[in-house]
Every structure is written in C-alpha cells, then in structure tokens.
Amino acid sequence: MIYDSVVIGGGVMGSAIALRLSQAGQRVLVLEKAVPGAEASSAAGGILGAQIEGEADGPLFRLCLASREAYGALAAELRESTGIDVGYRHCGLLKVALAGDDLGPLAEKMAWQRRIGLEVEELAGEEVRRLEPDLASEVAMGLHFPKETQIDPRQLVQALPLAAQRAGATFRAALVRKVLVEDGRAVGVELDGETVRAGAVVVAAGAWTSLVEGIGLPHDAVKPVRGQMLKLALRGLGLRRIVFTPRGYLVPRGDGTVLTGSTMEHVGFDKRVTAGGVASILTNALATAPSLAGAELVESWSGLRPAPADGLPLIGATAAQGLFLASGHYRNGILLMPETARLVAETVLSGREPEALLPFSPRRFAH
Ligand SMILES: Cc1cc2nc3c(=O)[nH]c(=O)nc-3n(C[C@H](O)[C@H](O)[C@H](O)COP(=O)(O)OP(=O)(O)OC[C@H]3O[C@@H](n4cnc5c(N)ncnc54)[C@H](O)[C@@H]3O)c2cc1C
C-alpha cells in the first residue's frame, strides 16, 4: 500500500499530526520504534506553562500561548472520540522565590508580560502561603499566573494514538533507518529490509531526530537532554497550584499525588535515574513544601527532551519536497503539540507553509 503520509515517531507530535492528517482524509502510517508515547511524551510533567516558560515576547512565545488556548477544545475532542479524560485542569501556577533567591528575574518576567496585557499577580510571602498553606515559611514572594494549566501526559499518550486510529491512521512498530529522497523529493522510508513508499514523510522522532538518515540535518541539530522525575503521595496534601522555584517544580495532580522534577542533563541517550538526580529533586521539593518529607516516594523515571541547537523548535517543510519536521520542542512539547500538529498538517495538505511557521523552519539547518 502507498500511504499519503508516513509519520516517523509516535510521541505526542507524531500522533497528533497523524490525527489531523487522517481527519483530512489522508491514508497515514505512523512508524514507532518502541510503544507510542513511551519516550519523552509520557515522562513529562504536563505543565502547560506558556507564561512561566516564556523568556520574551516573540514567535515562540505566541505559539506557546496559542497552543495553551487550544488545549480546552483538544481535551474535549479527545474525550468525545476516545472516552479518555486527559486531565486538563485550570489549576494556575505560582513561581516562588525562597529567602536568598534572586528576585530580579521574577520582576522582569512580570514587567514584560504585564506590558503585553497578560495576567500576572505579584504576591508577598504570606499571600503566597494564604493561597497554598503547604508552602514553606521561607517563601519570600511569588508571582501568580492564573491562566497556566496542566494535563496528564500518560492519559494524553493513550488518547492521541487511539483518536488517530479511530480517524483512520495505522500505527506499526518499526525502526526507521532512513528517509528515501529521489530527485529532491521524499518518496518513503527504509526499515530493516523493507521500503515503505509515501507521498509525504513527517519526522517527529523527538530526541532521535538527528539520527534519522536522509533528512539533511547536522548531527547536533536536535540533542537529548535528560530529565528525571519523581512521584510523591501524601494523604491530606492541600497543594492545588503548580509551583515553580528557581531549582525545580511541583505539579499537584489533585488526588494527593505530586510530580516533582526535574533535572536538565546532557548525558546522551542514557535514561537512568540517578542518586544525584533524585537527591537534587527531593531537596528542592522539601525546601518548597516541607510537609512532603512525610510523603511516600511512589515512582521515579526519566525521559529525553529533544533539545534544538539554537533554542527554537524545528517545525515545517525541509529543503526536500514532501519532507517535513516536527521536532526540537525541548521542555515544552506537550504545551506546543496542538498548534504544531495543526500547522504541520496544514503545510502537508496545502503545500504552503503558514507564516507562523517561518521562524521555526528546519531549512535554517540545511547544509
Ligand atoms: C522529565 C520531562 C518533563 C517534561 N515536562 C514537560 C511539561 O511539563 N510540559 C511540556 O510541555 N513538556 C514537557 N516535557 C517535554 C516534552 O515531553 C517533549 O517536548 C515532548 O514529549 C516531545 O514529544 P515528541 O513526540 O517530539 O517526542 P517523543 O515523545 O520522544 O516521541 C518521539 C518518538 O519517536 C520514536 N522514534 C525515534 N526515532 C525513531 C525511528 N528512527 N523510527 C521509529 N520511531 C522512532 C521514539 O521511540 C519516540 O516514541 C518534559 C520532558 C521531560 C523529559
């Protein structure tokens, strides 16, 4: 069978793109070397933190905001088509500084975001604790971002492939060795001992993107950055908002469990959870919310973020016709998925790249 599109990678990016292309009537094949969603996508905290992650106003920040706004409709769509609740919650987010932390970055973030009309509230230490009594008395001040939200990535990675399959996409376990390009046009992919032909190829291979042969990227265009995570459980924990400190974060799930992370480690494709990683995460978690000292350590894991060499994701058409990328979303791939999928599908289907994608063009790496 010749497919309209082959998607390499069944993480949130590949699955969501397959969903959109299938809904448009394409015959789509997703090739996933492991299990759909098993890599970075299910390791994530699920923070939809457009404002907390934004460093300055610009195309990436605008894409993050638009994607955060798109989540409500996507969550409803996924519940409708699959029956799965992806845990979309308007919980809000606090960025707090503890005694001794530099308050400068908080003031700066508040200033530029307020200038462009976004909601950010400045709170004194006691006001922060009035909102979240579990937080330490050392919290000196905080910023409250009421519009920041969360989802549950493990539910999301169940729902997206299922929704894509119900829309007609096929998922298959296979490692793609190479994208086949003939006369400047992608014509399919090579597996071990097999060729799959397709009208278009979309590479959504996360931290492994630069390893896929034939896509014309330098080997360091997208690199893995390990993040370790812990899940804690404490009966009676009242924490409701996501809490960021300069050293990590807490993501309360609303059921007495809290995810806490994460490390940022350049250790190649090594996914081990280490004693040092766990120690640093717990030190921050307990300094932020001391009652967590009595929590049960339920689970630990790590994942590999796809980190782009220049800080911007690689989204859109490549120099080869019919070859597209959706990769390098680094710390914010869950957040950026809805808009990435919509814009990539639009590019594949129309052959024209929306203007919103030009700053993220993978062609900037062409050699
Ligand atoms: C600890 C941690 C916490 C995070 N927290 C958040 C958060 O709170 N909010 C947020 O927005 N983002 C977060 N992120 C980032 C987010 O998880 C990623 O940006 C996002 O999941 C990337 O999705 P993806 O589909 O591109 O990659 P992946 O989920 O890694 O999917 C890529 C898939 O491609 C497959 N693949 C690779 N090569 C091949 C090949 N040659 N052939 C076949 N298949 C292949 C892989 O097996 C994998 O399943 C976090 C990441 C980590 C690690």
For residue 259, the cross-strand partners are: 231, 251
Flag whether pLDDT at 367 surpasses 80: no
Single pTM value for the model: 0.98
In the chain, domain spans: 3-84+153-221+309-365, 93-146+223-308
284 contacts 251 by C-beta, under 8 angstroms = no
Pocket test of ligand 1: the residue of 151, 228, 332 to mutate, having most ligand atoms within 8 Å of its CB, is 332
d(CA 16, CA 127): 40
Dihedral (CA of 44, 327, 72, 53) sign: positive
pLDDT of residue 327: 98
SS3 234: coil
Q: Give the closest residue (by CA) to ligand 1 atom 37.
A: 205
What percent of the chain is modeled with pLDDT above 90?
95
Q: How much is the average pLDDT of 229-250?
A: 96
Flag whether pLDDT at 339 surpasses 70: yes
Q: How much is the average pLDDT of 142-162?
A: 98
Flag whether pLDDT at 277 surpasses 90: yes
Average per-residue pLDDT for the chain: 97
Q: How much is the average pLDDT of 115-131?
A: 96
317-328 per-position pLDDT tens digit? 999 999 999 999
- Pick 42 or 367 by higher pLDDT: 42
Quickly list DSSP for 18-76.
Answer: HHHHHHTT--EEEEESSSTTTTHHHHS--EE-HHHH--SSSHHHHHHHHHHHHHHHHHH
Q: How confident is the model at residue 62 (pLDDT cuts 50, 70, 90)?
A: very high
State whether the beta carbon of 289 lies less than 6 angstroms from ligand 1.
no
Q: How confident is the model at residue 103 (pLDDT cuts 50, 70, 90)?
A: confident
Q: How much is the average pLDDT of 39-61?
A: 97
What CATH code is assigned to 3-84+153-221+309-365?
Answer: 3.50.50.60
Q: At what angle do helices 12-23 and 153-166 cross, to 10 degrees?
A: 30
Q: How many CB atoms lie within 10 A of CB 273?
A: 16
Q: How much is the average pLDDT of 18-31?
A: 98
Gap from CA of 100 to ligand 1 centroid (Å) = 35
292 contacts 286 by C-beta, under 8 angstroms = yes
State whether the beta carbon of 332 lies less than 6 angstroms from ligand 1.
yes
Flag whether pLDDT at 182 surpasses 90: yes
Flag whether pLDDT at 333 surpasses 70: yes
67 contacts 166 by C-beta, under 8 angstroms = no
279-309 per-position pLDDT tens digit? 999 999 999 999 999 999 999 999 999 999 9
Q: How much is the average pLDDT of 58-74?
A: 98
Least confident of 104-113, 123-132, 261-270, 354-363: 104-113
Q: At what angle do helices 333-350 and 59-82 cross, to 10 degrees?
A: 90
Domain 93-146+223-308 has CATH 3.30.9.10: yes
Q: Give the closest residue (by CA) to ligand 1 atom 20.
A: 333
106-116 per-position pLDDT tens digit? 889 999 999 99
SS3 168: coil
Residue 160: both structure tokens together: 């997206």
Gap from CA of 294 to ligand 1 centroid (Å) = 32
State whether the beta carbon of 277 lies less than 6 angstroms from ligand 1.
no
State whether the beta carbon of 224 lies less than 6 angstroms from ligand 1.
no
193-225 per-position pLDDT tens digit? 999 999 999 999 999 999 999 999 999 999 999
- Residues sharing a CB contact under 8 Å with residue 184, sequence separation 6 or more, in sequence order: 319, 320, 321
For residue 188, the cross-strand partners are: 180, 197
Q: How much is the average pLDDT of 156-163?
A: 98
